[in-house]
Each structure stands twice: as C-alpha cells, then as structure tokens.
C-alpha cells in the first residue's frame, strides 16, 4: 500500500529509564523550509534488503535519493535454490534498480571510503574514482 505520509522514520531507540521502560522514541526527518526546492540528499549504499526497501519507501518529493551499488538489481535470496534446480528462472527473483520510482540517480560502483561529506566510489567499468555528496548516508 502507498500512503501519502509526509514524514519518514529513520530510527528508533528503546528507553532505559525504569518509568518509561519498553517505550520507543522515533526520530523523524523533514526537509528544511528555507528553500522550497531544497530536498536533502539521501545516499543509500547497496541494493540488498535494507537498501532496496529504503529506496522504494522514501518519499521522493521530500528527498533526493541516490543509490550506489555494484549490483544493478535486488536479488530475492530465499528463492535462489529454486533457480538452481530449475523450478524458477533466475530473472524471476531479480528486481532491477530501474523499477524504483523517482530514484534520483543510480551509480553502478563500489563504495570505497567516506571523505569530506561524500562517499568516494570506484566506477565498476572505468575504474575511476568519484565522490557522491550526501546529507544522509544509509
């Protein structure tokens, strides 16, 4: 289901206070109001379970979402044995990155290190390094 909620939960912590034990506190981000065109850049490293889910669920009207991964697809690993025995075709358990609606940019590269507010990446084919700036890194 697709809800039009204008906020996104990015974290959760349990309270260690005896009176508030078991209560959770959620951390919520919202875009800055100074410039109406400004959208914080969220850079997601990897197209695994967490990266794929986050890239799909973030509101692209509020965030400029970028994805860095050498794999240009999400692989549904629980069905991988079925492809080995021929029950399923391999393409049936892959979800291409290009199907993520509103994705700002996809870099087919390996993230090498974090420097000066950016992720330094190595292009998978050209073997050249480049940097991707971010406001939030996931």
Higher pLDDT, 11 or 82: 82
Q: How many residues does the chain have?
A: 138
Return the closest-CA partner of residue 110 out of 65, 71, 73, 70.
70
Q: Where does the pLDDT of residue 8 fall: very low under 50, low under 70, confident under 90, or very high at 90 and above?
A: very low
- Rounded Cα–Cα distance for residues 41 and 3 (Å): 21
Q: What is the pLDDT of residues 94-128, one digit of tens each?
A: 999 999 999 999 999 999 999 988 999 999 999 99
What global pTM score does this model have?
0.72
Q: How confident is the model over 85-92, as a mean pLDDT? A: 93
């Amino acid at each position: 289901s697709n809800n039009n909620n204008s906020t996104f939960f990015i974290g959760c912590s349990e309270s260690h206070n005896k009176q508030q034990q078991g209560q959770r506190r959620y951390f919520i981000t919202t875009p800055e109001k100074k410039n109406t065109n400004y959208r914080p850049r969220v850079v997601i490293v990897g197209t695994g379970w967490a990266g794929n889910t986050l890239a799909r669920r973030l509101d692209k009207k509020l965030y400029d979402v970028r994805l860095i991964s050498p794999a240009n697809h999400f692989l549904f690993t629980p069905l991988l044995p079925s492809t080995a025995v021929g029950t399923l075709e391999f393409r049936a358990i892959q979800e291409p990155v290009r199907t993520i609606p509103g994705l700002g940019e996809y870099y087919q590269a390996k993230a090498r290190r974090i420097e000066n507010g950016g992720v330094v990446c190595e292009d998978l084919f050209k073997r050249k390094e480049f940097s991707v700036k971010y406001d939030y890194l996931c």
